[in-house]
Structure formats: structure tokens, C-alpha cells
Amino acid sequence: MSNPEEEAEIDATPENIRIRAWAKKDPNTEWVHQDWDMEVAQAKYADLILSLVEEDCPQSDFFVSCLYLLVGSYFTTNGKSISRNQIDELLSQGEQSKNQNVQHWVNRSRAFLLNPEKFGRNSWAEGGWALDEHIWRLPDEERVAIIEEITAAFHGVPRGEITLHEADVWDNYGSEEEAEQARSLDTDNCWEDIPETWIEECSSALPFLDPQSWRYYIPAYMIWTLKNYENSDSIASEWTVYTFCMLNRSKHEPDSKENDPERFQQLNQKQSAAVYLFLKYMGEHYLDAAEEAIQQYWKKFSPAE
């Protein structure tokens, strides 16, 4: 790492001075030239760009766009313009920021790096941060933000003993042989890989998962619900909300593992806070049971608490 004197010397280069001068200009100021954003969005200026966004300078939106350009250029240049290590280091710095635009950039970038095919690459590479409309189908920014919180909070969660299609067999009173065959269908390596069709097909499987697998699958179900509750006939949305309720269905479903307190205790603070945001949105826009779940257990994870 460089010492403060070295950093000050680097920051005083003519290029950095020029960029800092631009940062102070009115947002409506004409660009230096038509490719000004491409000139600025280079790995050697990455730390400066991030700091200018955090300072909320007049040209903050321009530099936010440059942050997205930096990540996009990793793919468009096959890592020649900026290395993956440099991106990871920059994202780690961004995680410490209190700036909302930076936080959104970190979450979206991590999701993009995991599944670039789910994003509109052209829009991203041009400095845009809109998710691919066909895949995400989100009409409001609030849902986008909640999905980002869920994605970041549950990233890297391992799967437990029971797989999704296996749980679906138990839900339908299947045999052990059928359950074993169903396990072979679950080829996912991380919950982000789970196809939406699986959630629609296994809409009521959540109660039959062990606590670890419940934690693994629940982010996929929450995201699916946020994206599809308005236009899908599947009951997956209802089951996703109900799985967070403190209800006892053991008399009716003796094999169900749902509502075991051990499930909720699997979640850390960040994951529980993401669940709260999900339930708050669903309670306001879809199902009263979501608000009941908040009052029963999840309200203690509200940011206001």
C-alpha cells in the first residue's frame, strides 16, 4: 500500500487535477469531448472516481456512471482494461461507503459478475445501470433495491441436506425412491442458478426443507416473488410469505419443518434485515400475512429499530 505522501503525489498529477476540476462543474456542463466518460473510466483513476462519488460532488452522477463503465469494461476487454482483482478490491472499498449510489453499484456489480447474462450488457457497458427489462420486469426502483439487498445478504449461502425437487416429492407424499430420483434434478451450484421454472413447479416445497436448505432456497423464492407476484398464477408467492409466519401447521403436516424457530435462527442480521424489507414491501402491496409476520417476529430487524 502507498503511504499518504505517495497518494498525495499521485492525486496531484495533471490528469487527476483535470478530473477534479471537472467534478466541481455544474451537472449540465458540456463534456470535454464525446468520449470523456471513456477517458475517465480507467483503472488508474478508479480510486479517484470512487472518492468523488462519495464526496457527492456536482458531477456525482457522471462518476457513478464511470464506476459502472469500469466493471463493464472487464468483460468488454476480457480483463485487459482492468483486472478482476482490481475490481474486487474496488468493490471491497465501496462496501465501506455510506453513499447509496455506491452501495447500489457494489450490489449490482456483484450480481453482474456472478450472472452477466442476466443483465443488458450493452446498457451496462455504456455506463447504464438498468437491469435487463425482459428478465427482471420490475416496474419500480424499490423492488430493485430490495432484490439487491437479498442478493448481497445471501451470497455464498451453502445448500443443506434436502434439495428442492426432493422437498417437492415429500410435499406430494412421494416415496424415498422418488425423492432420491428427484435429487438428481437439482444441479444448481448456488441459489442464483435456480431457474424460475423450478420455483413455479415446486411452489409449496418450502415447508419440507431442512433449516440450512431453507436458508439456501429462500432468497431465490423472495426474488421470484418480487418479480412475479403480479403476473403469475403460481402459489409460490403466497408460500414464500407464509414461510416467514409463526404459524403451527404440524397437526396438518406432520412432516413439515416449517416454522421451526431453528429456521429463522439460521439467518444472520443482514439476511434477516433483507427478509424484513421483503415482507414490508409485500405487506404494503400484496398480502396482509406479510405484515402479520413482521409483527410476530421480523420487526426487530427493521432499520428503524
Q: Inter-axis angle of helices 164-171 and 176-183, to 10 degrees? A: 150
Domains of the chain, by residue range, sit at 4-132, 164-301
Q: Give residue 139's pLDDT.
A: 46
What is 165-225 written as a DSSP string?
HHHHHHHTT--HHHHHHHHTT---SSGGG--HHHHHHTTT-GGGS-HHHHHHHHHHHHHHH
How confident is the model at residue 61, as a pLDDT?
A: 84
Could you read off the pLDDT of 65-96 as tens digits, one per residue?
Answer: 899 889 888 888 888 999 999 999 999 999 88
pTM strictly above 0.85: no
Q: Which of 160, 161, 226 is nearest to 199 (CA)?
A: 226
Task: Tell me the pLDDT of the chain averaged across its residues.
Answer: 84
Q: What is the pLDDT of residues 103-157, one digit of tens each?
A: 878 877 887 787 776 666 555 655 544 443 433 334 467 888 898 899 999 999 9
Q: What is the pLDDT of residue 65?
A: 85
Percent of residues, the chain, with pLDDT higher than 90 = 55
182: number of Cβ within 10 Å:
20
- pLDDT digits 0-9 by tens, 178-217: 999 999 999 999 999 899 899 999 999 999 999 999 999 9
* Distance from C-alpha of 24 to C-alpha of 72, rounded to nearest angstrom: 26
